[in-house]
Amino acid sequence: ADRAYTQKSLELSTRWAKRCREAHRKENQQLFGIVQGGTFEDLREESAKQIIDLDFPGYAIGGLSVGEEKSQMLDLAAHTAPLLPNDLPRYLMGVGTPNDLLQCAQMGIDLFDCVMPTRNARNGSLFTSEGKINIKNSKYKTEDLPLDPQCACNTCRNYSRAYLRHLFMADEILAMRLNSLHNIAFFQTWMSRLRRAIREDRPIDWSFPEDNGEETHGD
Ligand SMILES: [Zn+2]
C-alpha cells in the first residue's frame, strides 16, 4: 500500500484500538495494542506513539510477515521494537523461522506466533537439530532412526523416519498429527533454550542450520 493509504489505515486502527480499550472488561485477559504503519518507518513511529498513548499492558507489532522481503521484516521489527515500553511484553505477530526467533528476541521481542510449525509439519517438512528434513525424500524409506535423535517428543520416542514417511506417503492423517507434535516440540525446546540463555545472560551463539542440503521445495 502507498503512504497515504497506510497513514489512513493506521489512524483507523488507532480508533479501533481506542474503542477496544474502552469496551474491554474481562479481568482474566490482557488486551494488547497493535502497532501498524506498514513498511514506513515514520508511520510505525506515529502508530507506536498513538497506541502507547492508549496505555495497554503489552504491545504487538502487526502487519509484518505478510509477504514482504525477509530483510524488510527484520529491519522494520528492529526499528519498531525499541519504540515500545521496555517493561512491558512486546509481541511480534506472525514470526517466524527458528533463526528469525533468535534474531528478533535479540531486538527485545518477547512473544511470537506462527503457523510454521504445524503448516510445515502437514507438508512433511520437519525441523530437527541437524536442519530441516523433508520426510517425502526416498532416502528415509528404510531409515530406522527417529526424526531427531536429540528430541524427546512422543513422535521421536516411538516412531522411525521410515514409518513416518510411510504414513505421509499413504496420506494417513496420523502423519500430520505426529509431524505436528514433533515440530511444536522442536519450537518449544528452541524457545526454552533461548529463554535460558537470556536468563543466564549468555550470548545466543547458535543458529538453525538452514542449508543442510535437504531439498524442501520452498515450503
Ligand atoms: Zn521429536
Q: What is the ipTM of this complex?
A: 0.99
pLDDT of residue 212: 82
The distance of Cα 117 from the centroid of its chain, to the nearest Å, equals 9
Query: Ligand 1 centre and the CA of 107: distance in Å?
Result: 29
Instruction: Give residue 192 CA to ligand 1 midpoint distance, Å.
Output: 15
* Edge-first strand listing for the sheet containing 59-61: 33-35, 59-61, 90-93, 111-113
Cell of 148: 531427531
What is the per-residue pLDDT for 214? 83
Residues with CB under 5 A from ligand 1 (ion): 151, 153, 155-156, 182, 185
Angle at 101 between CA 158 and CA 211, to 5 degrees: 70
CATH 3.20.20.70 segments of the chain: 3-114
**Spacing, Cα 162 to ligand 1 middle (Å):** 14
CATH number of the structural domain 3-114: 3.20.20.70
Smallest Cα–Cα separation from 76: which of 36, 39, 33? 39
CB atoms < 10 A from the CB of 139, how many?
Answer: 11
User: For position 45, what pLDDT does the model report?
Assistant: 98
Burial environment of residue 203 by CB neighbours within 10 A (0 to 12, 13 to 18, 19 or more): exposed
pLDDT tens-digit map of 38-87: 999 999 999 999 999 999 999 999 989 888 899 999 999 999 999 999 99
Query: Left if phi > 0, otherwise alpha if psi is -120 to 50, otherwise beta: which for 168?
Result: alpha
Spatial separation of the C-alpha atoms in residues 58 and 193, rounded to whole Å: 23
Give residue 180 CA to ligand 1 midpoint distance, Å.
9
pLDDT in tens, the chain (219 residues): 899 999 999 999 999 999 999 999 999 999 999 999 999 999 999 999 999 999 999 999 998 988 889 999 999 999 999 999 999 999 999 999 999 999 999 999 999 999 999 999 999 999 999 999 999 999 999 999 999 999 999 999 999 999 999 999 999 999 999 999 999 999 999 999 999 999 999 999 999 998 888 876 555
- Which cell is 201 given? 545472560
